[in-house]
Amino acid sequence: MKKIKFAAGRVEEFACEGGKSQSFLWDTTSPGLGLRVTSKGAKSYIFQGKLDGATIRLTIGDPRTWDIAKAQAEARRLKVLLDNGQDPRKVRDDALAAERDARALQEAVIVAEQEKQLLESVTLGGVWPEYIADRIATREAGWSEHHIAAHRKIIQDGGQPRKRSPALTKAGPLWSLSSLRLIDLTNERVEAWAREEAKIRPSSARLAWRLLKAFMNWCASHKTYSNMVTSNPTKSARVRESLGKEKRRHDVLQREMLESWFSAVRKIGNPVIAAYLQVLLLTGARREELAALKWTDVNFQWGSIKLSDKVEDFRMVPLTPFVAQLLANLPRRNAFVFSSPASASGHIAEPRIAHNEAVAVANLPQLTLHGLRRSFATLSEWIEMPNGIAAQIQGHAPQGVREQNYIRRPLDLLRVWHAKIEVWILEQACVEPVSLPALLRVVGA
C-alpha cells in the first residue's frame, strides 16, 4: 500500500498504474483515507477499515468537490464509528432513511394543508360549471342544449337584463346555495332550502332538486370532490316531502279547438315561428329536437326527417305533405330549418312568447309547447292509430317485450298513419290538406 501525506499537487498528479483497472494512494495523516483512480482517470476519496474482522470500503466523494481537509475529517468520523462498533454503511443508510421520512412527513403535512384549504374553499357554485363542462365532454351523458341551458339557469344570479323584456332576471333556485361549501351541504341545510323554495316556486324547485341530486352523485365519484361528499343530502325524505309531487299537466288541444288554434298561429308575424308551432303539433316532436332540425336532416325526395332523439341517437319520421310544404316555404338563412339570425345558436330559442299570445288571441286555455306534443298523442286516438306507431313517431321508448324485441316498422308504415293524422287534424282545423302530387310540385319547383 502506497502511503503519503495528501497534498493538492500529489492528488492531482496521481494516475492509475499501467495494466491495472484501478490504483490506490493512502493518506498517512488520516488512517483509512485513500484516493482511488481508475484506468479511465476517474478519481474519488474512499475510506477503508475493518469491522468484526471484515474489510469494508466506502466512497467519500470526488476530489473536485471534496477538498483534502474535508475528506480527512470525514475519514476520521467514519473511523470513530468503526471504533465504536458501528457499521458506517448502516449509519449512512439510516440517516438517508430518516431524511426521506422527514421529507415525506413534510410533504404529507403540505398535502394535508392543501386538502384542508380545498375542503374549506370549494363551493357549490365553484364546482357547478366544471360539472356542466364534464357532462358535455362525456358524450354518454346525452345532454341536449336545452338541458345544458337549464343547468346554467337554475343557479344563475338574478338582476341581469333580459333580451326581450325590461324586467330583470330572477335568481335561480340554487343560487342561494351556490356560495356554500360542499362540506356544508348537509341534510339540514338542503331541507331548509327545500322548505323555502317550495313556498314560492315548487316546480322550479323540484327541477333544481333533481339536478342537484345528480350533481352530488357526480361529486361522490369524483377523485377531487369525493372526500367532500360522503353522503347525498338531497336524498332526505324531508326534502321530498317539502317539494311534493309534480302535478300532471292536462293542457292539450281538443278536436274542437284546432280551428281556432291554427287560425291564430298562422297569423303570427314571424313565419318561422308559425311554421315551427304547426310542425310541432303535426309531428308530436319534442320542442328542442325540432328547433335544432337542420336542412341536411330533411329529405324532400324520400319524404323523411331525421330527428335527434334522447332515447336513441336519432329517429326517422315521415315528412308528411303539409309539413313538407311548410318547410319548403321557409328561408334558408343558415344550417337550421327554423333559423333565427338573432339567436346565438342560429335557431329559434324562445317561441313560447308568440305561442302564448296566439293562444290568448284564440281565447283558448293555457297551452304549453309540450302540450302540443301531448295533443298529438291524444288526437291520434281519433283515427285509432296503433299506440306503438304513435310512440315510435314521437320517440317514446318501446313498451313491452313485443315492441322492444320483435316489431321493426319501416318508415312507409309510419307514413300511412302519420299522413292520416295530418289530414284529419287539418280537416278539423278547416285547413286545406296538401296532396302528394302537390308536394312533388313544390319540391320540384
Local structure of residue 181 (DSSP, 8 states): B
Give residue for cell 324531508.
238
DSSP code per residue over 86-143: --HHHHHHHHHHHHHHHHHHHHHHHHHHHHHHHHHH-BHHHHHHHHHHHHHHSGGG--
Neighbours of 314 (CB within 10 A): 11
Alpha helices in 221-337 (DSSP H): 237-243, 258-265, 271-283, 287-291, 321-328
HSE-CB of 330 using CA atoms within 13 angstroms: 28
Give the tens place of pLDDT for each residue, 114-123: 776 766 778 9
Quote the Cα angle for 83-88-92, to 5°: 150
Which residues 6+ apart lie within 8 Å of 254 measured at CB? 378
C-alpha cell at 422: 295530418
CA distance 225 to 242: 28
CA distance 95 to 78: 14
**pLDDT confidence of residue 443:** 44
3-86 and 255-444: identical CATH topology:
no
**pLDDT confidence of residue 390:** 93
Residue 378 CA, chain-centre distance (Å), reads 36
Residue 255 near residue 382 (C-beta atoms within 8 A): yes
**pLDDT confidence of residue 225:** 87
**pLDDT confidence of residue 1:** 64
Question: Where is 412: in which H helix or E strand?
Answer: helix 411-428
Residue 100 near residue 93 (C-beta atoms within 8 A): no
Strand-pairing partners, residue 38, are: 22
**pLDDT confidence of residue 229:** 83
**pLDDT confidence of residue 129:** 93
Hey, is 61 helix, strand or coil?
strand
22-27/3-4 β-pairing: parallel
| Assigned architecture for domain 255-444 | Orthogonal Bundle (1.10)
**pLDDT confidence of residue 311:** 64
Q: State the first-to-last Cα distance of the chain, in angstroms, to the nearest integer.
A: 110
Which residues 6+ apart lie within 8 Å of 313 measured at CB? none
Closest to 73 measured CA to CA, from 38, 47, 44, 108: 47
Quote the Cα angle for 69-70-74, to 5°: 120
Give the tens place of pLDDT for each residue, 101-135: 999 998 888 887 777 676 677 899 999 999 999 98
CA distance 150 to 273: 22
CA distance 435 to 90: 98
* Residues recorded for the chain: 445
Which residues 6+ apart lie within 8 Å of 380 measured at CB? 284, 390, 421
Assigned superfamily of 3-86: Integrase, DNA-binding domain (3.30.160.390)
Neighbours of 236 (CB within 10 A): 17
Local structure of residue 163 (DSSP, 8 states): S
Q: Which amino acid is at 405?
A: N
Low-confidence ranges of the chain (pLDDT < 50): 438-445
C-alpha cell at 351: 317561441
Closest to 128 measured CA to CA, from 190, 170, 180, 199: 180
**pLDDT confidence of residue 165:** 65
Closest to 34 measured CA to CA, from 53, 66, 441: 66
> For the chain, which residues make up each domain, given as ranges?
3-86, 124-243, 255-444
CA distance 64 to 74: 16
CA distance 181 to 434: 60
Which residues 6+ apart lie within 8 Å of 375 measured at CB? 252, 253, 281
Percentage of the chain surpassing pLDDT 70? 94
